Amino acid sequence: MTTWIPILNGAGFVESSNGLEGHLFISRGANMDKGPEENTWERIDVTQFGLPPDTKCVSLSGLLVITMGNAPGWQAIAVAVRSPSQVEATIKENYCMQAVAGTGDGVRSTASTIIALEDGAFEWGWYTSGVGIGWPEKAAIACNLTITLGLR
């Protein structure tokens, strides 16, 4: 039998590189440099945060944020997820979430996906393209995703 496992308040999950409870988190360009490095896959083991070992997949939901500075042009952020054995899957070619903003603009884009787990884990990564990071001249970006459900 298939069962969805609700994660109360989106909590019960800690992203390893920044210690924020309940979130996969990136922030660059606005007095903060948090989260995993760009263009790097990071493995997330969800079993250590209370999800059962037989969990088949999880649902991720949240926001992608871009605040543009003064530089003319555009900025994008994209996020990719994969099962750990999908080593051929690159971040730039397999992203499933994206936000884009133009000069003098900003965007707050909702994002969600479902990712299959292998041995209770998945991998995620991100990249940017455009004018560059470094607000207020260039852009600031952020990503805040939470595991909202698990499927057994």
**Residue 86, CB half-sphere, CA atoms under 13 Å: how many?**
20
The H or E element spanning position 34 is: none
Go through the domains of the chain in sequence order and give each one's CATH number.
4-151 (2.60.120)
> Rounded to an integer, what distance in angstroms lies between the CA atom of residue 70 and that of residue 63?
23
- Bridge partners (DSSP) of residue 44 are 122
Residue at token pair 């996020």: 79
Q: pLDDT (tens digit, 9 = 90+) per residue, 24-59?
A: 888 888 877 888 899 999 999 888 777 888 889 998
Task: Assign 95 to helix, strand or coil.
Answer: coil
What does each of the 152 residues of the chain score in pLDDT, given as a tens digit?
555 555 544 433 333 344 444 468 888 888 778 888 999 999 998 887 778 888 899 989 999 999 999 989 999 999 999 999 998 889 999 899 999 999 888 999 999 999 999 999 999 999 999 999 998 899 999 999 888 888 88
